[in-house]
Structure 1
Amino acid sequence: MLPPKGADLARGGPSLRSVHHHAPPLRESLRRWLQGTAMAVVLSLSAPAWAEIWGYVDRHGESHFADHQVDRRYELFYRGGQRPGKKSSSITPGAAYAPRLQARFAVSTSYKAVRHLIREAATAHGLEYELLKAVIATESGFNARAVSPKGAVGLMQLMPDTARRFGVRPSRAETLQERLTDPRTNILAGASYLAWLLKYFDGETELALAAYNAGEGAVMRAGRRIPNYRETRDYVRKVTQLHQNLLPPRTLSRQRTATSSTGIMPGQGALPTAKL
């Protein structure tokens, strides 16, 4: 299945710049492939075995997350793996932090205002509610009027071209960007895109998340791997960790069993068309 026209414009991220050129000679192609393979090995060997999620809910009820303590407002929500030199623990990574994270979501007024819409969109597009929730938390902190410097709009930080691909159109009264500030419109379109990515990448959640951040073209050019962009790698790690800590314990246990046996997260359904 080929990506739709304009796939690299999906997120306005590192893949926004399209490059058109003739195919390089075979020797040059081989040299580049070897260099890319060597870089992938180095990255896999040097990646830290631990990661953290810090965050806080501000006075407007909006959630903020980071992979380090930005300032005193941020508290530790998650620590996965072990820091170098730390003794191992019998506690499952992140288990001690999940209740704290859940409690923070419980007091977030901006999250509570849209949680029914998240569930509606997750059901409509066969997505896991907690995964969609983790994406929105990372993208916008549940701020429906968030606009990125690159022009991504709303809860799921959709670029206008992506929104058009998934059914959002301007009306007589509103521009497309204004429509994307409507929580239901934004979440349904973003969920449709995320579901499409999961299907396109055969249920590989990390690749779908990488494509949501950098564009599916960037993932394909990286050989169906997470592109070597720091922002994208951090994004995939952050969403994945939030997702795992938001899952009910029984669901998490079932998913770990299914993942260990198949390598693919279960629960990816069909892609019904939503009316936006």
Structure 2
Amino acid sequence: MNQLRRHLGQLLTATLLTFALLTTVGSARADIFGYIDADGMGHFSTEKLDNRYQLFMRGDGFFDSSQLAAGGAKPLSPALRDSPLFRYLSQHPNLKKYEALVDQAAQEFALEPALLKAVMAAESGFNPAAVSPKGAIGLMQIMPATAERYGLTGDSKKPVEKKLTDPRTNIRLGARYLRDLLKLYPAQQELVIASYNAGEGAVQKYNNKVPPYAETRNYVQLVRQFYQLYQPAFAQSAASTNAGGKPGLNRIRLVIPGRSNMPAATTPNLNPIPPAAAISATATPLIE
């Protein structure tokens, strides 16, 4: 009985969080521009950095998943469905490769897969070997200090940095952190995403508002747009688009304006999340 109650509680929590995310997604979204270069790399930005960048997603709802889900709604036009940029994000080979791990982590921590995919796209472009200049590692760009905060420890054979290159470990850590942020900022999607980028300490420093860092503000807008794109209705549309067997592309470059100007995260968390405060005791351990 207790197990059933717990399961129902998790389902209810996930449903409420989904509703909160969807009801907030309509505000403060940015236009997304992009192009695919001669080497097959996709470039995306929240600004039109030069003439190569073309409008891909409009902040006013160019892609609206609710329209796709509605019975009498007008579907995406063939031109949009066949857009190389749309295919690039929705049919990326690594997205399919790690989808089962994303779904498992989403279920374990009562998250939407769409949110995990959106953060992963913005953080690493689905590259498990990605390492940022600040030392963030892997698909979800986890800092070693964050991993250790959640109990991941290194040893003589495998330091923490090496363990973070494992996709399953990396995705689960990112999912667990997002889950804690959702509990810290319920129904406040912008603050959850901003905290993932700049740290919850930075959000608290600015009175629980998105910090005035150009990178963080652009990052929030980018992730919210990608969150729209990875809704199930879009996934179905993308799957039908790719039915013709068009070749997939496998590299993404995200240009987030202001990234080089973001201050280093030297301020400690003002109200750090207890590592296991929001996690059910039945959750499988991060260390195996």
The verdict on a shared fold, with TM-score over 0.5 as the criterion, is yes
State the structure with bigger RCO (CA 8 A, min sep 6), 1 or 2.
2
Q: Hey, what's the Cα distance between the residues in 2 that align with 1:184 and 1:116?
A: 10
What aligned pairs does 1:106-185 form with structure 2 within 5 A after superposition? 106-185=90-169
1:93 aligns with 2:62: yes
1:66 pairs with one of 38, 45, 58? 45
The share of aligned pairs that are identical, in percent, is: 45
Is the CA contact (8 Å cut-off) linking 1:155 and 1:187 kept in structure 2?
A: yes
> Deviations along 1:51-95, whole A, 9 cap, x unmatched?
3213457899876432134567755331122xxxxxxxxxx5334
Q: Name the counterpart of 1:275.
A: 285
| Alpha-carbon separation, structure 1, partners of 2:205 and 2:50 | 37
Shift in Å, 1:118: 1.0
Separation in 2, partners of 1:163, 1:132: 17
SS at match of 2:128: coil
1:79 aligns with 2:58: yes
Distance in 2 separating the partners of 1:241 and 1:162: 26
> In the superposition, relative to structure 1, how do residues 141 and 63 fare at CA in structure 2: closer, same or farther (>3 Å)?
farther
Higher mean displacement: 195-204 or 61-70: 61-70
Unaligned runs of 5+ in 2: 1-26, 65-75, 235-277
Aligned mates of 1:117, 1:57 — CA distance in 2:
28
Residue 192 of structure 2 corresponds to: 208
| Runs of 5+ consecutive residues of structure 1 not aligned to the other structure | 1-47, 82-91, 251-269
CA 1:232–1:120: 2 relative to 1, 3 Å: same
Is contact 1:140-1:146 (8 Å) kept? Answer: yes
Contact in 2 for aligned 1:110/1:142 (Cα 8 Å): yes
Q: Secondary structure at the match of 2:33?
A: strand
Distance 1:178 1:240, change over 3 A: same
TM-score, length-normalised on structure 1? 0.64
Supply the distance in 1 between the matched residues of 2:96 and 2:38 (Cα, whole angstroms): 14
TM-score (norm. length: structure 2): 0.61
1:19 aligns with: none
Corresponding residue pairs, total? 201
